[in-house]
Amino acid sequence: MSIKNATVMVCHIAGDPRLTYSEKTGTPRFYARVGVDHWRREEDGTFTKLDRTFHDLSLRYKAAEVAKELYRKGDDVIATGKFEKFPDPETGVEREEFRADTLTPNPVSGRITINREPRNATVERDAAGVDRNQAFERPDQSPQAREPAVLGS
């Protein structure tokens, strides 16, 4: 299993989000124009606010439908994904959008409530006779089983 590399964008939704569906596949697509504030750290430790940039953000599949219900203009969010360039289907001009894999509220700028209701998968994870507290304990090893780390030969 490899670790996924992604870009993280901390932004706010600058325009009214839209939910559209692909004509070919019916895939849901959440679209929003987002603003990103930029800052520069000065030598004295203070920060100077720079210009704000605006970007197109999209999110697909089931997450798109959920995002349309959750987010509106003015919300601060954190998106993970990547910037991708593509030709505009109407004009042919190359455009760039941030294609998000995840979109979550920014906990720094707003109040978030976490729903801790039991999930359906809880029954499967909490199998009878399994002590979850032991999952992170190191197993006992005899002194003979321990080998010193050696660099080089």
Partnered with residue 105 across adjacent β-strands are: 77
Q: What is the mean pLDDT of residues 8-20?
A: 97
Q: What is the mean pLDDT of residues 59-77?
A: 96
What pLDDT score does 140 carry? 63
Residue 67 CA to residue 54 CA, distance in Å, equals: 19
Read off the amino acid at residue 132: R
Domain annotation for the chain: domains and CATH numbers: 7-125 (2.40.50.140)
What pLDDT score does 113 carry? 82
Q: Choose between 24 and 127: higher pLDDT.
A: 24
Residue 95 CA to residue 19 CA, distance in Å, equals: 19
Q: What is the band of 25 on the pLDDT scale with cuts at 50, 70, 90?
A: very high
Q: What is the pTM for the complete model shown?
A: 0.70
What pLDDT score does 110 carry? 79
Q: 81: closest CA among 9, 3, 153?
A: 9
pLDDT at 20 > cutoff 70: yes
